[in-house]
Amino acid sequence: MSFRREEMEMREKINALIDGYRDEFVQTLQEWVRVPSVKEEPAEGAPFGPGISRMMKLAGATAEKMGFRVRFFDGYACDATLGDRPEVLGVLGHLDVVPVGDGWRKDPFGAEIENGRIYGRGTNDDKGPTLAAMFAMKALKEAGVPLKRSIRLIMGGDEECDWECMHYYAEHAEMPEIGFSPDASFPLINTEKGMLGFEVRFPAAAEGLKILRMATGERPNVIAGECRALLEGGKELAEQVRSYAEETGLDYRAEVTDEGVWVTAAGISGHSAYPEGKRSAIGMMLKLLKALGAQGGIATLADAVGLESDGKSLGCACEDEVSGPLTNNMGILRLEQGEWIGTLDFRCPVEADQEQLKEACAAHLPGIQVKVTTQKAPHHVPADSELVSSLLAAYEEESGLPGEAQSTGGGTYAKVLKQGVAFGAVFPGEEELAHLANEYESIDSLMLAMKIYANALLRLCADL
């Protein structure tokens, strides 16, 4: 999809404008990053606390200064519109940030610049990309692009927690049907797997190995990096653990104490949607416990889940071309007053039959109570749609890199829109620093993202 001559000329005009925005963009982003917009207790007119409220006012003011029509939605969200066409293309970003966490070498709200990078919480997720999209709109406005679709940047204040911002917005404004969210990575994500969450419960077995204590995991969507259990026994049992570790080549340790034997399984932690290269410490522990003689539900789980992340022994393994394989994770398993409670987190291919998966899962866990706690439909926008092909063409043209639509097991903001995809702004090969210490964004990358967004808006919204 190459541009006609009119579009080529407009693109050049826009990119020249964008080159001139660099200093203004960086200064504005620094102002944005210096507002610690972390969710706090609600206050009057500030449903997510004072920081996010301040940030929303600032973002609205930035958009007003650029000449967009700005609306505020009671501290939940705000939007900025260019054009007055009835059909609207939505761009969805967010202004809240996750808490700082440990390990920072720079002021997380300092917006310090070093070696062409701007450091701070939100530089990458998602203030940098959101502001880049706003500046792309500014370029179209200043270049005088006639529009066939209006462009509306919708900025939420609660993406990192409960998406209350978008629920409120959808109730109080008309949600565009089509659009993209600059809140993930390039080239583009057009497929989000469905989700099935289960809670499993079963009584501690009266026979076999006696497990005295175990409580691992706080969130179903995290692959446990470490699992500890206290077992009844002494030296002999610790020796058995050591030989099992040797036999399997896995990292288990045993320590004999007055209480019994404390056993530790060391896995490789990660997000449940991306199990490749990870190892669940809970899965490791299940295997070990069964080998040591555990019976009942623990033995069943060791066989049906164990170290698998593809749901195979649960009778649930499946895949399709657009989404890849199903993934599964047992993120929580704990013993509470004689009862075991655990979670399973399935990310299901678009074409998978979720009802069938529920049945298969329950059927493969005899003696275990299985309850569905989460069920979310998958989201998919066809690769040959106008939206996906235009965005990928814009990406290829500005970056010179090959564009290909991708699938994720995670959730993106884009699925708020009927025809929504995630588009940028992390480039292939760049560090994924969202939610981590020392989050930064390369200024060159953000300027390139800005050109890609402007190019995309030109393709999808210009009337040339």
The C-alpha angle 221, 126, 45, rounded to 5 degrees, equals: 95
The window from 1-9, 124-132, 194-202, 213-221 that contacts Zn ion (CB under 5 A) reads 124-132
Q: Which is nearer to Zn ion, 75 or 128 (CB)?
A: 128
Of positions 183, 192, 398, 441, contacts Zn ion by CB under 5 A = 183
Count residues contacting Zn ion (CB under 5 A)?
3
Stretch of 106-114, 118-126, 295-303, 306-314 contacting Zn ion, by CB under 5 A: 118-126
- Report how far residue 184's alpha carbon sits from residue 161's, in angstroms, rounded to the nearest whole number: 16
CB of 185 or CB of 407, closer to Zn ion: 185
Q: Does 397 sit near Zn ion (CB under 5 A)?
A: no
Structure tokens at 111: 């917006």
Binding mask of the shown chain, residues 217 to 256, with x at each position contacting Zn ion by CB under 5 A? ----------------------------------------
Residues noted as catalytic: 96, 159
Indicate the residue among 125 and 308 with the shorter CB distance to Zn ion.
Answer: 125
Sign of CA dihedral 231, 237, 242, 247: negative
Cβ–Cβ under 8 Å, residues 263 and 253:
yes
Residue of 326, 404, 408, 409 lying closest to 361 (CA atoms):
326
Q: What is the length of the chain?
A: 464
31 and 59 Cβ atoms separated by less than 8 Å: no
Q: Which stretch binds Zn ion (CB under 5 A): 122-130, 259-267, 350-358, 379-387?
A: 122-130
Q: CB nearer to Zn ion: give 155 or 318.
A: 155
Of the candidates 181, 207, 386, the one whose C-alpha atom is nearest the C-alpha of residue 294 is 207
Encoded tokens for 464: 């040339």
Going by their DSSP bridges, the two strands 261-266 and 252-256 should be labelled as antiparallel
Q: What's the closest the beta carbon of residue 125 comes to Zn ion, in angstroms?
A: 4
Residues 125-154 that bind Zn ion (CB under 5 A): 125-126
Q: Which is nearer to Zn ion, 78 or 333 (CB)?
A: 78
Strand-strand pairing, 226-231 and 319-320: unpaired
DSSP state of 463: -
Amino acid, single-letter form, for residue 324: G
CB of 184 to Zn ion, least distance (A): 8
What is the closest distance, in whole angstroms, from the C-beta atom of residue 440 to Zn ion in the complex? Answer: 15
Q: Which residues bind Zn ion (CB under 5 A)?
A: 125-126, 183
